A and B are shown apart, each in its own frame.
Chain A
Amino acid sequence: MSTTDILFYFLSALAIFSAIMVLVSRNPVHSVLWLILVFFAISGHYILLNAQFLAIVNLIVYAGAIMVLFLFVIMLMNLNAETEPQKHMWMKLAGVISGGCFLMVFVSLVRQATDMQNKSVLMKTGDIGLIKNLGKALFSDYVVPFEISSVLFLSAMVGAVVIGKKD
């Protein structure tokens, strides 16, 4: 078991445990904090795969901006005490069973797929995660989606302000 394998298993266990704690927590603020831990674990996976730009952008955008927005909204609504009435126990069990059925179907699909045998992921090396190569590809081949995404941001910003106005 090399260091890479140990890190992979540790980060995977951390991500799955934190994701389960997101569901199980009764306090919404605790759920947000566990989700931030999930994002840290996934950024660790990105660093293992040498996707350096995506690891840093994941931390800055998701854990740094989006989760802070969630915390603002939760604290604005003063949801620190758990005030939602819980669903019935059998409805929660039905939700867990349907999620488990989904997982079982796809795991069985992956296990019997023949064109995914003996393919391994290149970890710790590889130049495509570096910001230089990603920037070159983004601004040469994919410049049109890049400019359209700026228009998307503008429209999202205008929409959020219009929706949030206190008229």
Chain B
Amino acid sequence: MPIQYYIYLCLTLFSIGIIGVLTRRNAIIVFMCVELMLNAVNLLLVAFSKMHHGVALGSSPTTMVGIEGQIFVFFIMVVAAAEVSVGLAIIVMMYRNTHSVDINFLNRLKN
């Protein structure tokens, strides 16, 4: 599988996430599209780590060259989990105050 196929796939998922953030009005759906973008980036990082590993395996068969990509994906998942918990707490608090999760309505509160 050439690397371009993985890049095209992750670009498509990322742009679908962007379209979701721009188009939808429900704050929870917007949050879910951000998670979709993060997952597209995770997949691309793992694909690049395997590409570099495949290139480096030719020179020495016990090398660990591409492992930083997968460790970075691990930390991205850590940060995404923490961000989801805090973000959902904020959404629940705003829903309790205004009884709406419409982002245009929530945007008017910046006074």
Closest B residue to A104 using CB positions = B15
Interface size on B, residues (CB 8 A): 73
Whether the pair A122, B53 counts as a contact (CB closer than 8 A) is yes
Task: Give chain A's interface residue range (CB within 8 Å of chain B).
Answer: 35 or more
- Across the interface, do A129 and B70 meet the contact criterion of CB distance under 8 Å? yes
Given contacts A8-B1, A19-B13, contact A62 B23 (CB under 8 A): no
- Roughly how many angstroms separate A111 CA and B42 CA in the complex, as a whole number? 21
In Å, the complex CA distance between A31 and B23 comes to 14
Q: Is the CB of A163 within 8 A of B93?
A: yes
- In the complex, A46 Cα to B54 Cα: how many Å? 16
Residues of B within 8 A of A (CB): 1-9, 11-13, 15-20, 22-26, 28-29, 31-33, 35-36, 39, 42-43, 46-47, 49-51, 53-55, 57, 62, 64-68, 70-71, 73-75, 77-86, 88-93, 95-96, 101-102
A-B contact pairs, 17 of them (CB 8 A): A8-B1, A22-B16, A38-B36, A38-B39, A73-B88, A77-B92, A87-B25, A99-B18, A107-B11, A119-B2, A122-B53, A123-B1, A126-B53, A137-B71, A152-B79, A152-B82, A156-B82
